Chain A
Amino acid sequence: MLPIVSITLFLPLLGAAVLVALPGVSARIAHAIGVSFSGLALLGAFWMWARGAGEGFSQIEEVEWIPSLGAAYRVGVDGISLPLVLMTAILFFVSMVFSAGVRERARSYVALFLLLETASIGVFVALDAILFYVFFEVTLVGMYFIIAGWGYEDRQRAALTFFIYTLLGSLPLLLAILALYLGSDPNTFDMRELIASPPLTGLAATLALIAMLVTFFVKIPVIPVHTWLPAAHVEAPTAGSVILAGVLLKLGTYGLVRFALQMTPDAFRALAPIVAGVAVVSALYGAFVALAQTDLKRMVAYTSVNHMGYLVLGVAVAAAAADPNAGVLALDGAVLQMVAHGFVTGALFLLVGMLQDRAHTREMGDFSGLLRIVPALGWAFVLAAFASLGLPGLAHFPAEFQIFLGALGVYPAAVIAVLGIAVTAGLYLRAIQAVFLGEARDEWTGLKDLGTRELLSLVPLLALTVLLGVAPFLVLDVVHATTQGILP
């Protein structure tokens, strides 16, 4: 059989290699290469999706490396990672299309994005803990360069904060992986083994879990370790923000499920109340901070903290649930939330970026009445905003609904997080009101509405947002097949 997982994984890297090997290519060709290779990777992801995932890991591709150490190149997917792989491929493709306008050092830009794509897909398909860690670190490198090289005014500082924060943050994960390795018998880095028979117990497991939680909480991010996020988002170029919010945050949540939940389940169960508490606080905190923002991009960045709070709550509920039904429901919701957030927030960052490209400002107060001037952009923003505030029929609703359903059974007090939906409604309507409604000011009357390239990048995300909202079962069925086997 064709090793489609590996092909999908390394196609973007191949594209990056081609770009490196072709010095002096024009921006046009560089972008053409970028779009084609990410497009091919997207086809590969669709192929993987068509092959499907069963209850456990499937589409396994394995090459021995150091057998005596139990280290090997192992990739494969299950119902949790498969939707994320597809989402990642879609977001990268869309970002490459959108980025086709970048002229400045286009070759390096595209190469970095392609490198980042391979690393991101790699995290989701890796079935070897070392491989996972390597990909996890490489994403950091790629994003660091993208922010530092193509970001806005204060990009150096933001990139450095981002880098140091998440790099230091990821070291505990390495220790946890080593602990898992040393605890397993025979020693192995095979994630399937580590999941099938969690190697650590007692204090060791708790310590390993805490180490992993530190890493993933920084990445997700959860308060109080989220402060890199607004800075990184505000300074990152638009496509960088899309990938950062859409894909890189999911590395944290995915790790939370794959490592914390699956490899140290008992310890997680014990710590679940704390995690749930932090998640609820994070959700409400993110919503309120976002409410008080005047910078659009910063506001959208903080709503990610809010949505990720719900997501972490879902995972905590899954870890703690005595009733497996409630746990599975919450976990299904959490995975769906990852995908929904990728599309919705991706679209929102694209839109804010399009606005900034035109007006060179993101301050809400600088705008007014744009809906009349740029109707397509305006209505797209309204749609994405309503999706983000959890309107039924759009992507976030089924996810958050399931998380709340599960949460109520396990932590009734966590239902206070539902308050967040009123706050997010407030903050998005406030933004829409300030930017798009009201009288149009003269200074903006010359703005152009969305162009073809922008529509091509935006419409797929909006269409998927609606599709996920109307037919969430398309993803949930795949997810559910796996999650029902995960929880006891």
Chain B
Amino acid sequence: MSAGQQLLILAIPVLPALAFFVLALFGRLIGENAQYVAVFVNATAFIFSCFALFLVITDGPISFSVSWIDLGEGGSFSMGVLIDELAAVMIVVVTFVSLMINLYSGAFMEGDSRYAWYFAVLNLFTASMLGLVIAPNFIQLYVFWELVGLCSYLLIGHWFEKPAARDAAQKAFIVTRIGDAALLVGILIFWRATGTTSFAEISQAAQAGFIGGLLLTAALVLVFIGAVGKSAQFPLHVWLPDAMEGPTPVSALIHAATMVAAGVYLVARTYDIFVQSPAAMLIVAYIGGFTALMAATMALVKKDIKRIIAYSTVSQLGYMMMALGIGAYTAGFFHLYNHAFFKALLFLGAGSIIYAMTSYNIFDMGGLKRRMPITFWTMVIAGLSLAGIFPLAGFWSKDLIVAGAFEKHYYILFGMALVTVFLTAFYIFRAIFVAFLGEPRTEAARAAVDPPGVMTVPMVILAALSIGSGWIGTPVADLFGGFVTPSEFAAGVLAIEEHAFSYALAALSVAVGLAGIALAYAMYAPGREHVAESAYRRFRPVHAFLDRRWYIDDLYNATFVRGAMALGVAVREFDRRGLDGAVTGLGRAVSWTGERLRPLQTGGVQNYALFIVISVLALAAVVLGDALILAAGLLVLIILGSIAVGVRL
């Protein structure tokens, strides 16, 4: 490809990165105009991404790289660009969602004391994610992977004066970093075994037998732990719900396009390696399936609208992981793509409510349907899409996953997925019914209005996509499935068979979803509060268990957090009492001797000069005379000298 085209491709991640530097350095000058810089840059990156997608469609994958560190054999690392079908779709999604969120943030963040800085980090976030997506090798991926983590830390903690935001940012970084440490070891193992960090070359090396068996599985599991951390899968899911303390548009970005998508993307990116270890695939599938179910149950009882949506992200990411694990590659990624739009929309909707009434609690709301019609209808669309109701976008990919589990004979996972569909529909419509129907429960809710146009326009666009984004992957014309496909190699290993679209399974999953919505209506529609109340009373322990997030956070606090601190304190005390004590004792002995020798010393610096001269002379003498005797004498001299000096001062 031509140099001009390469430059254009490079501009996709570089432009937002430049915006970061400009806004970070000159933020004070730019002030309120920061949003225009950000929107312009993101719009350009989006257009370039579309161009890249077009190039991939017409000419096939784009790939070029430059050497970064070149230390000869075994020590060469490069930075480059690999945009295949997977990456092309991903960068379009990332830049598009990022553009919407930058637009929305312009109004949402108005009046913030660190307005330009907010946009600076937002753009660095996007740039890091893009750098990650186009990475052709593990090193580059890891570099941007960590930068994504840094940006999430900065953005979740944007309102760092708030203790909750401060703690959430810290939790997010540390929890994901535990995953990152595992990922790093996984990368190291791959590099040792195959001598390369390139995804394609590792896959080939594995096929050629350079790495296999238990070692391959171990390396893949380590890489997967990295993905588990970023994509908030069990058991490292604990950071994501807390991350709600950041500004709401940031939540939208984290949940839809950057950060959490990175984990799923990593597994998809390295799919050719994953398929070579059936054990690793099974682990991915079951962790995903379990997370989907677990997070959905946690969402059932939450009162904070952002947390409900957050748990739904954990749950939906579980679906994607499960899909990848069972070999439904296209379905998993298709869901990532659809999910990006409706999840971004859900958060922007929640953001609109918060913008209007500064409360996250759905039981403070009520009756918002009349006051905020645009927010209501877009939320309903996003909710239906999330619940997987035909013919909205979410339906097409979710159905592919559920059907895939059935057709590939993972009946346990199929059952879990189906239950999750039910729970998902229930919890999201519980939130919508409570928040939007009935009468306002507070003064704030009574006064709420739809946000200004700059915020509603992105919501309406995203609503349109939440309906239609999935239509490129229908059984009638499966454009998506024909475009983003597992490699021939992966398809061969997985022995993927074509299954006709199963109307029975589709009907079943929609029916289950509708049942969930119906139950939510039965319990939470206006005037039916007593139903929910009696259910709460009857299942109080279950409610507590779910509300305390299965006690997982408490368990981690009691074990790992306390444990690490206790270990630190124990080692510190050992260091102070045990080791240093011994040394102090020695020091006392020396200074005692020093006191006795005090008459010997004369002047400070002169003493020193003398001491050094004697040392050097003694050294010269040593080499002339009998080495050992003189060395011993020298030792004595130096010790005496040092004591003299020590006492002097």
Interface residues on A, range: 35 or more
Given contacts A148-B649, A386-B150, A439-B161, contact A332 B71 (CB under 8 A): yes
Contact status B192-A409, CB under 8 Å: yes
Q: Is B568 an interface residue (CB 8 A)?
A: yes
Q: Within the complex, which residue of B75, B572, B620 is in contact with A329, where a contact is CB–CB below 8 Å?
A: B75
Distance in Å: Cβ of A277 to nearest Cβ of chain B? 17
Contact status A326-B74, CB under 8 Å: yes
Interface-located stretch among B173-181, B396-404, B481-489, B531-539: B173-181
Interface-located stretch among A37-45, A353-361, A415-423: A415-423
Render B612-649 as a binary contact track against A, CB cut-off 8 A, 1 for contact: 10011001101110010001001100110011011001
Contact status B147-A437, CB under 8 Å: no
Residues of A within 8 A of B627 (CB): 178, 182
Contact status A137-B160, CB under 8 Å: no
Residue ID in chain B nearest A166 by CB atoms: B642
Q: Within the complex, which residue of A174, A227, A328, A393 is in contact with B75, where a contact is CB–CB below 8 Å?
A: A328
Residues of B within 8 A of A182 (CB): 627
Binding site for A on B (CB under 8 A): 68-75, 139, 142-147, 150, 153, 157, 160-161, 163, 166-167, 169-170, 173-174, 177-178, 180-181, 184-185, 188-189, 191-192, 564-565, 567-569, 571-572, 575, 579-580, 583-584, 586-587, 590-591, 608, 612, 615-616, 619-620, 622-624, 627, 631, 634-635, 638-639, 642-643, 645-646, 649
Q: Within the complex, which residue of B74, B147, B189, B634 is in contact with A392, where a contact is CB–CB below 8 Å?
A: B147
Contact status A141-B608, CB under 8 Å: yes
Contact status B173-A425, CB under 8 Å: yes
The complex places the Cα of A175 from the Cα of B71 at a distance, in Å, of 37
Contact status A438-B166, CB under 8 Å: yes
Q: Is A371 an interface residue (CB 8 A)?
A: yes
Listed from nearest, the 7 A-B pairs whose CB atoms lie closest are A292-B568, A291-B568, A392-B143, A325-B74, A292-B572, A437-B160, A437-B166
Residues of A298-348 at the interface with B, using a CB-CB cut-off of 8 Å, are 325-326, 328-329, 332
Q: Is A98 an interface residue (CB 8 A)?
A: no
Between A and B, 30 residue pairs with Cβ closer than 8 Å are A69-B620, A71-B620, A137-B612, A160-B590, A163-B642, A164-B590, A164-B642, A164-B643, A165-B583, A182-B627, A224-B579, A288-B564, A292-B569, A328-B71, A332-B71, A391-B146, A392-B147, A393-B146, A397-B143, A404-B185, A404-B188, A405-B191, A408-B192, A418-B185, A433-B170, A437-B160, A439-B161, A439-B163, A476-B71, A480-B71
Residues of B within 8 A of A161 (CB): 583-584, 587
Could you tell me the dominant secondary structure of chain A's interface residues?
helix
Render A174-185 as a binary contact track against B, CB cut-off 8 A, 1 for contact: 110010011000
Residue ID in chain A nearest B161 by CB atoms: A439
Contact status A163-B615, CB under 8 Å: no
Contact status A174-B642, CB under 8 Å: no
Distance in Å: Cβ of B150 to nearest Cβ of chain A? 6
Known: A163-B646, A325-B72. 12 other contacts (CB 8 A): A160-B590, A167-B638, A292-B571, A325-B75, A392-B142, A397-B146, A404-B188, A408-B191, A415-B185, A422-B177, A425-B173, A480-B71
The complex places the Cα of A209 from the Cα of B75 at a distance, in Å, of 30
Contact status B71-A425, CB under 8 Å: no
Q: Within the complex, which residue of A156, A224, A369, A477 is in contact with B161, where a contact is CB–CB below 8 Å?
A: A369
The complex places the Cα of A227 from the Cα of B586 at a distance, in Å, of 12
Distance in Å: Cβ of A102 to nearest Cβ of chain B? 19
Binding site for B on A (CB under 8 A): 66, 69, 71, 130, 133-134, 137-138, 141, 144-145, 148, 156-157, 159-161, 163-165, 167-168, 171, 174-175, 178, 181-182, 187, 223-224, 227-228, 231, 285, 288-293, 325-326, 328-329, 332, 369, 371-372, 386, 391-393, 397-398, 401-402, 404-405, 408-409, 415, 418-419, 421-423, 425-427, 429-430, 433, 436-440, 472-473, 476-477, 480, 484
The complex places the Cα of A66 from the Cα of B620 at a distance, in Å, of 9
Contact status A425-B68, CB under 8 Å: no
Q: Within the complex, which residue of A156, A398, A419 is in contact with B69, where a contact is CB–CB below 8 Å?
A: A398
The complex places the Cα of A290 from the Cα of B575 at a distance, in Å, of 11
Residues of A within 8 A of B185 (CB): 404, 408, 415, 418
Contact status B649-A159, CB under 8 Å: yes
Contact status A438-B163, CB under 8 Å: yes
Q: Within the complex, which residue of A187, A415, A472, A473 is in contact with B188, where a contact is CB–CB below 8 Å?
A: A415
Residue ID in chain A nearest B584 by CB atoms: A161
Residues of A within 8 A of B572 (CB): 288-289, 292-293
Distance in Å: Cβ of A380 to nearest Cβ of chain B? 13
Q: Within the complex, which residue of A227, A425, A472, A477 is in contact with B579, where a contact is CB–CB below 8 Å?
A: A227
